[in-house]
Amino acid sequence: MTLYRQFRSQEEIDQEYDLRHSVPDATPFRNFYSASNKLAAQTLTCQAKVPYGPSLDETLDIFPVKKPGAPVLVFIHGGYWRSKQSHDYHFVALGPQREGLLTVVVNYSLCPKVRLDEISRQCRAALVWIRTNIANYGGDPEALVVVGHSAGGQQAAQLLSTPWQEDYGISQPIRGAMAISGLFDLRPLQYSFLQPKLMLDSVTIQRESPLFQLPKSAPHLTISVGDEEPAEFLRQSKDYYQAWREHSLPGAYFEQEANHYTAINGFTQAGSRLMEEVLALFEA
């Protein structure tokens, strides 16, 4: 009997979804993140822990630029919804800063403290706050692009499926979005090492899997994944892009020469392929 697709055991699923199996040693990549964060702390202005909601975890780290009315890049971090915080990803503001983009890194509560649907609620609340308040920090509320990595890629896709007018009384706040190394079908994770913290059930899987929540209309979505990532991450990105386009939604797909950890390294440099793709979203 199979659990999901061709997988018959948790061990087989973990081999694809436990990212510790995806590289011989993640230490060099973590060291790169750490060094890049130090550079960001030394060179960038940050207004940290700006609250957007009632809980202590609902905060934003805002990296303003000198020019007023700047386009806004909103970054949602990964960590399988159960680890990492916004301050671990300040380095993603380095490239955008040099391109004149105001960057906002979203913090949110983690599982099992909250369930996945609460994380989605918080990310939507963050977008509403940014749309309403970012002009006070020098950003253009009409020029918001959302980028998410890994678990954040799932959140970026979910934001595009949100009925903003119906649920929040605002027009679509997102100009475009990018999901990097995202997870779009959560079904295999209920059989994985993550289940004790994610506590997925059939209702949550249906509601929180972007593959099952495709919108009728949406802004442009770019999907990216590293060519050295586990086969399941590549397949999930390809399958979601195919479903997105089959629904006549605007989008693009590109693979990077990267693994799961290095797929966001392009944010440290102006002029990188990743930054070029992000900048194109503001014109999409």
Give the CATH number, domain containing residue 19. Answer: 3.40.50.1820
Cα separation of 5 and 183, whole Å? 15
Mean pLDDT, residues 25-30 = 94
Query: pLDDT for 227-258, tens place per residue?
Result: 999 999 999 999 999 999 999 999 999 999 99
Contacts of 196 (CB under 8 A, 6+ apart): 112
% residues pLDDT > 70 (the chain): 100
Structurally, how many domains does the chain consist of? 1
Query: pLDDT for 94-139, tens place per residue?
Result: 999 999 999 999 999 999 999 999 999 999 999 999 999 999 999 9
Is residue 63 a part of any domain in this protein? yes
pLDDT reading at 58 higher than 90: yes
Strands 47-51 and 59-63: antiparallel
Please give the pLDDT value at position 174. Answer: 98
Please give the pLDDT value at position 284. Answer: 81
Cα separation of 135 and 7, whole Å? 49
Is residue 3 a part of any domain in this protein? no
Is residue 252 a part of any domain in this protein? yes
Supply the pTM of this predicted model.
0.98
Which residues constitute the domain of residue 177? 10-281
Query: pLDDT for 149-193, tens place per residue?
Result: 999 999 999 999 999 999 999 999 999 999 999 999 999 999 999
Please give the pLDDT value at position 206. Answer: 98
Q: Identify the DSSP state of 135.
A: G
